[in-house]
Structure 1
Amino acid sequence: MKNVFHQVLLGSAAALVAVSGARAADAIVAVEPEPVDYVRVCDVYGKGFYYIPGTETCLSVGGYVRFQVNVAGDPAVNLEGDDYQLASRVRARLNFDAREETELGTLRAFARLQATNTSGANNGVAMDQAYIQLGGLLMGYRDSMWSSNIGGLEDGLLTDTDLVVGDFNTNQVSYTFATGGFSASIGLEDDGTGDVVPDIHGKIVYSGAFGGAYLSAVYDETFNQEDLATAFGSNFNFVTLSGGFPTRLQDGSNDAFALKGGVLLKDLIAADSQLKIEGHYAFDPTVYSSISGLATVNTFAANNPNILNPTPGSLPIFLEWAAGAGYAQKFGKLGLALSGQYGETFDTQFLAVSPLGTVVPVDLSGDYYAVVGNVGYQITNNFATLAEVSYKNVDFGGPIGDTDQFNGFLRFQRNF
């Protein structure tokens, strides 16, 4: 009897196993997901790059958020009639940098978007830069080759207000050949006039452990008195210079040629120091020889104006030649910088008020100089503050005299 019971029990168990197996075969069993590495570090191009999932393209997203208080001195006048202006400014910037390797070299796309809010007024979102690179070929919108960072050496002195001559953005196409620390570039830039002939640029750079050196040349085919009015318009009415304002540049012609060069020396005087010397000479007036002069709180700290209005809202200064030097020194988290620039303007015709009260034309050239100093401190990782003061003076002598201005700002910036 016991054997029969055991046989029935075993048979029942076998039947249950068979039935269960049949039902299991009919059921949908979820497959265990394979681990996917969604974020893979791409260290080919330095820190901050990650592979876009499913591609060999590396992407970096960065930028900053900045809070800044700007002060512009006399002749800027506020709404209460005081001879200064003060405004707070908030800016957010995003940089998108995508790169990958091809049989023709590195393929890159770079785009920069930023939005600015000045004293509560939203100034909108702007495309500050956008360009494509394939190997040495570049095409798109960015700072002119005249003032851009090529070969690791950027034009301008070592303060934040870096006194760059001809600093603005434009559409362009260029090619750079680089080997070792040497690079040579040639480029064509849209001058915004609609003319078929573009501005032509050339630049040679050498960079090494000591620092670097560069030489730039530009041919501006279409700059003349009419272009001056188009470029600056009513900006000439920004300030009255002792009863007069500039009406035309006497040396203007239908084309212009300019040269610029500089040398950067690292750790020459002390560790963590930089010394830079640079200058330019323009054979004729051109936007590439202009520098922003007297300004308001909304314009003296403006970023990357365009070729049609390189110094929006400011009284522009056209320099026939200028030379400057800057020195920057770091002491751990503390940084100090000082720069200065001196030059002469092109001959300019003014409409001046004579002692008899009549308006008479006066042809003058002016002396120009500027001094900038700042102090910066790294509060913590990716968060720093910077305070800067600048002074500019342009003196035409005669009935026009000189005009000067102090500017300054206090900035807090969080990078990411």
Structure 2
Amino acid sequence: MNIKSLLLGSAAALVAVSGARAADAIVAVEPEPVDYVRVCDVYGKGFYYIPGTETCLSVGGYVRFQVNVAGDPAVNLEGDDYQLASRVRARLNFDAREETELGTLRAFARLQATNTSGANNGVAIDQAYIQLGGLLMGYRDSLWSSDIGGLEDGLLTDTDLVVGDFNTNQVSYTFAAGGFSATIGLEDDGTGDVVPDIHGKIVYSGAWGGAFLSAVYDETFNQEDLANLFGDNLDFVTLSGAYPTLLQDGNNDAFALKGGVLLKDLIAPESQLKIEGHYAFDPTVYASIDGLATVNTFAANNPNILNPTPGSLPIVLEWAAGAGYAQAFGKLGLALSGQYGETFDTQFLAISPLGTVVPVNLSGDYYAVVGNVGYQITNNFATLAEVSYKNVDFGGPIGDTDQVNGFLRFQRNF
């Protein structure tokens, strides 16, 4: 055997051994890339697919720092006729949606916590509801004051002077076609009986603005509801000498109507003009509006049907009409709103010139003016300063009372 044959044989043997070893080796397979976060653009910006599902989720909210000032008759601990307090609020919105054979299935939950002058007020559910197509079930703004069809209720300042603005447990169904929507709803009135409050709302919205008409049947309203409204508010005692009695026609139920129209870019580009009013045939919580307040109850958290304006003095209006105007100039925004109305006939206990307590039946005139200035400091960070003035005048021995409120706010949205 020559050297050449020996080398060729050795090479063949090495190849054979190497091939056997290669066959026995475990080769790791490269993992396929997994798209853990996929953008869901079906429902607009901010939605992502929950991994492994076809459900789209959006998480957002804001953190807000605000200084509130409430004027006389609010009194601070030092005896001055005003109150000032700082407030911090954190809000989280969770919005989950997916498509089904019955329409869009949605779950929305809003959690928020507020800290006023160092006192932690805890975390509360501000809204929580389920939607399937046009069907809605859960807890949120009453249908009387909620945003339907993209048309927001209330005037155009932050203190939007909405009548009957509180949350309820409810069930409703909305039919929508184009810019038109019609909603019928039942809301738990907190009485414990089987008869709910009944709501209806018709809305039309388009590029020019929109219009709406609301109706509500309040199944039960009595003096216990009035006590829930006013609570232990001493401001009202100083006004009347005693808690009032709203005069009715003998029935405890009530019916009310409300309508409004919004016009965009009518006066100038980036402008909005809103006109809104209501009429209630009998006293009802849906005709109440915030009146006098303290800094702790200013923009109160989670008002509900049993206590729509916690700690403040609501005013129960037979009718009211108002208008608001908002104008944007790039990052700068200005808004002004006003409202006028009359309260229901109310019986007070007043002291006569002879020193005796006598009942006095009166109706009051009410008006309010709100103005604000806002500025977009940078993307998702803005400031807003607002001042409001409210006055209610019953005349006679009761007289009138008024109050100036205001706040300065800084808010980071996400």
- TM-score category of the 2 structures, normalised to the smaller one: over 0.9
Task: Give 1:251 deviation, angstroms.
Answer: 5.0
**Counterpart selection for 1:207 from 205, 211, 224:** 205
Task: Give 1:226 deviation, angstroms.
Answer: 2.8
Task: Give 1:361 deviation, angstroms.
Answer: 1.6
Cα pair distance change 1:252/1:287, threshold 3 Å: farther
Task: Give 1:18 deviation, angstroms.
Answer: 3.8
Contact 1:146 1:217 (C-alpha < 8 Å) held by counterparts: yes
Distance 1:92 1:348 in 2: 40
Contact 2:322 2:338 (C-alpha < 8 Å) held by counterparts: yes
Distance 2:305 2:237 in 1: 22
Q: Residue 21 of structure 1 aligns to a residue in which SS?
A: helix
Contact 1:219 1:257 (C-alpha < 8 Å) held by counterparts: yes
Give the alignment's TM-score, normalised by structure 2: 0.96
Task: Give 1:191 deviation, angstroms.
Answer: 0.6
Task: Give 1:8 deviation, angstroms.
Answer: 4.0
Q: Residues 174-217 of structure 1: CA distance to partner in whole angstroms, max 9, x if unpaired?
A: 00000011110000000111010000000000111110000000
Contact 2:61 2:91 (C-alpha < 8 Å) held by counterparts: yes
Contact 2:287 2:316 (C-alpha < 8 Å) held by counterparts: yes
Distance 1:239 1:371 in 2: 24
Instruction: Identify which range, 78-87 or 354-363, moves more after superposition.
Output: 354-363
Contact 1:143 1:304 (C-alpha < 8 Å) held by counterparts: no
For this pair of structures, how many residues does the alignment match? 412
Distance 2:14 2:119 in 1: 77
Contact 1:159 1:337 (C-alpha < 8 Å) held by counterparts: yes
Distance 1:288 1:252 in 2: 19
Instruction: Identify which range, 369-378 or 293-302, moves more after superposition.
Output: 293-302
Task: Give 1:228 deviation, angstroms.
Answer: 2.3
Task: Give 1:381 deviation, angstroms.
Answer: 0.4
Instruction: Identify which range, 346-355 or 327-336, moves more after superposition.
Output: 346-355
Paired position in structure 2 for 1:225: 223
Contact 2:374 2:384 (C-alpha < 8 Å) held by counterparts: yes
Paired position in structure 2 for 1:69: 67
Distance 2:162 2:292 in 1: 15
Q: Residues 269-288 of structure 1: CA distance to partner in whole angstroms, max 9, x if unpaired?
A: 00000000010000000000
- Consecutive unaligned residues of structure 1, counting only runs of 5 or more, are none
Distance 1:347 1:246 in 2: 10
Identity %: 93
Q: Residue 14 of structure 1 aligns to a residue in which SS?
A: helix
Instruction: Identify which range, 238-247 or 52-61, moves more after superposition.
Output: 238-247
Task: Give 1:249 deviation, angstroms.
Answer: 4.1
Distance 2:349 2:17 in 1: 107
Task: Give 1:17 deviation, angstroms.
Answer: 4.1
Contact 2:229 2:314 (C-alpha < 8 Å) held by counterparts: no
Q: Residue 228 of structure 1 aligns to a residue in which SS?
A: helix
Task: Give 1:298 deviation, angstroms.
Answer: 1.2
Contact 2:246 2:283 (C-alpha < 8 Å) held by counterparts: no
Aligned CA RMSD, in angstroms, stands at: 1.6
**Counterpart selection for 1:325 from 318, 323, 326:** 323
Q: Residue 258 of structure 2 aligns to a residue in which SS?
A: strand
Q: Residues 102-148 of structure 1: CA distance to partner in whole angstroms, max 9, x if unpaired?
A: 11111111110111111011110011001111111111000000000
Paired position in structure 2 for 1:260: 258
Task: Give 1:14 deviation, angstroms.
Answer: 4.0
Task: Give 1:301 deviation, angstroms.
Answer: 1.4
Contact 2:264 2:271 (C-alpha < 8 Å) held by counterparts: yes
